[in-house]
Structure 1
Amino acid sequence: MTSNDIAILAPRRPDGGRLLLAGRVAHCFDDYREFRESGLKPAAFIIRCTDAAATGDWLRQVRRDPDHAARLVFVEGAVSDTDAAIGDGPLPDSVTALTERIDASAARAQAIRGKDDDRSPAALLLEYLWLRPGAVLEPRADWRHPRLYHYPLLDALERGDADPQDWLQQLDRDGLLTRGELRARQRECDFCGSAHLRFIDVCPSCRSIDIDQHAALHCFTCGLVAPEDRFTHGGGRCCPKCGSHLRHIGTDYDRPLETTACGSCQHVFVEGEVVAHCAICDHSMAPTALRLHKLWSWRLSSLGCLVAQGRSQAQSPALFDTQHYATRGHFLHSLDWLLKIGRSQGTRLALVGLRLRNGRELAAALGGGRCAQLLDSFAERLRELLAEADLGCRLDQETLCLLLPGADRKRLKQLERQLGELQQRALQPEGIGPQWGMAEMSPDSADTDAGRLLARLEQRLGGPAEARVAA
């Protein structure tokens, strides 16, 4: 339970380690690990530090701590602009203002029910926004960040290797966040998502960067187009290919539109081919292959306010996505219902799971954008193979579950063969395509819990020896 006390984080702490601040006990710590070991759950933090880098470290430690990530954190001292975005501003000037901020946050925290159940970064973001009425999640530009524009708060909340943009988009799809103003648009690398790109012209024939502008001539006799200096011979002009003397423009030769020449292969052309080169992952691609990323400001939606208070997300009316795959909640509800029917009427039921086995290889070979499009296309084709009574669910980008009422061994064999055909058709010109591991289960009368049954299926998919590759 959260106390009314305050935690002060500072390089040096006073003797005794405690102060009286705004009518509350302020506990002082010079090490975050020591604070964690104390078991204190303060109503707010105050960071007192004159070193901006150290202040940033304190801020990130608080925001990455799932038990305290949404707490108020005030800064008294130096802080960088980027790190300031994940704090709650400078320490209020008056005791009254500080007390009002803490009391207002505590009052909203009391409305949160069951908040300890989900401490994922996405859930903590919703809680963070709920505790700060009118708070707006803003993108910031930072040349040191691979994406250039990013959301500092999302980066601070993310404790693992997941891309914060993925769960931000999921919150948008679930209707838990509302878009504000469009702050920026940028093109990003299709392989790693970086916005640090350089654009350069290359030869369209050999792709060399050794190209330059030259005056060119076109010999009417043999058709050669080449830089003018190659035609210069003595005091006149002579074609280096056929030896014709070029005396009269319009009769012997003319000046073509091709004014760029390659120093490597001598190819002459009008314009070079523009290539985008990523400074982070070293991949090159056409500008048309770059991702377009729109950077919005975000606010908590009405549904997001309910979810942040601990109410079920199942209140959302959306049961299916645009490809008619069920949400996880609806899938579990349907599975539970069919299990009950199976126990009372003895009907047959099959549960099939698919997990992508070569996701990293696909992304490395095709880039993130093409990889996502390929997986979406595969899921759409798979949905077309299912019967009207069948139900599918995309647990994540690389995992699908199918609920097949009445399916027998013959139907499962047919599905496995069709999956193999889909994989063959999805093979890309680069020689790579999605490889799906498949696991199946036929629930019996002992299976009564849909959540546990789905968890068992996911465990089978997680082990490469237990999930065979569809062929």
Structure 2
Amino acid sequence: MLSLKLAFDTASDPVCRQSNPSRRHFPSPPDVNEVLVLGGRLDVAGLAWHDDPARRCSAVLLAGAVSAAEFAAATELMPDPAVPIADFADNVGLRTDFRAAGLDPQTLSAAQLRFAPILERLNEIPFHAAREERSEMLILRLAWSRATPIEARFAPDSPAVIKYPLLGPAASKRSELEGLAFLDLLRRRHFMRVHACDRCGSHRLMAFEACHDCGSSDLADEAIVHHYRCGCQAPESRFVQDTGLVCPKCQRALKHFGMDYGKPGSISHCRGCGASSSEPQPRFACMDCTATVDGQEATATDWFHYDLTDAGILALRSGHAPSHVSQLRPEQAPGAYSLREFQLLASVSLRNFRKYAQPFAAARLAITNHATLCSQHGMAMVDRVLQQASLVIADILSEDQFTTVANNSILIGLPEMTAAEAAPALARVRAAVTTELDLPLEIDVTIHGGNDADALLAAF
């Protein structure tokens, strides 16, 4: 493994200080100290507020009862619908970041502490979204600004029985979440499979065991008796007589358990129609419309937790959600891929290395001064420079080489190259990046060849 330390100091070059004209720049949001109040009025000294959702605000305070429809209408008008929300009126079903029984200086101070990290992250990426993409971009923005996965939770009071507290009511969001996951902007983790009523669509179903013949749940389990001597097997009720157990086939008395007879299992007996079966039929009863449905025929739906991906953060920064996976890769740089695509290409190269001994090397360009640059220039600027670097690198790679940005690093895949052969290629990368970037990056370059590349990729 080769280890190189490169300091790309582009600040001294007047050409490098010019921004890339092809890159989109968004103005930073103005400082806003007013809060939007819904559901009532406030009389708190020193707190500037208004009740117009279309005006900019730094937070939302729910001072009284607010319906889901009123809340949805307000967020549609808000310049940034992801600003933090505090509920002081015990509203149900609305997404909130802070709750308290009443508004006073203590609860207001606690809300401000909760809001501080959220507002800091919101200011790093201004909100930009076309009207038709506003809902999807809000989902990504909420996950980013709260620095948390989009976790599913049980909601027995809802026909959907699943909710996403971060997003509010979940039924209308599931298709959007799945669409974002399909585009690799979110990563799914399985939570639960639920079944739906065929009549009303509710997921509030109660499982029960039913008779195969009549559908009744009035079942009784009965032991099966096996007479060893004649081989008769039947429900125990057919053996019971006044004198004890008597075989219905040979009429011999059964006296000793384990010697004369055994009980190898049980059978389900329907008290309604008298039918018996070894296994009852699983069925569901809808708790909303009372319809019943066969357990094998009920429509199943899988629900997931979702994690924001690097591609999702990139979509947030660009202000645009791609309509297809291929749009995650810039057209002008065919070698720049999403992390998932990079991993797929690398896995193919590793398989060729192991099976056919075809060389393969992978390089990681770790930004060692990432934290310093973020504190000086902001995370949004640093991420834009990393994306710019990825595009510059992709332009000089050959057709079979590929690159991506992940975890404050740039990864490069180099098929048909050993680690030693990759060093000259990285020298070309250094020369190209030095003349293009807007910030001085300090980069620790490591090159992994063959099986060592697998260990590098496993870290991502």
- Measured against the shorter chain, the TM-score band is 0.3 to 0.5
With normalisation by structure 2, the TM-score equals 0.48
Q: Which has the higher contact order (CA 8 A, sep 6+)?
A: 2
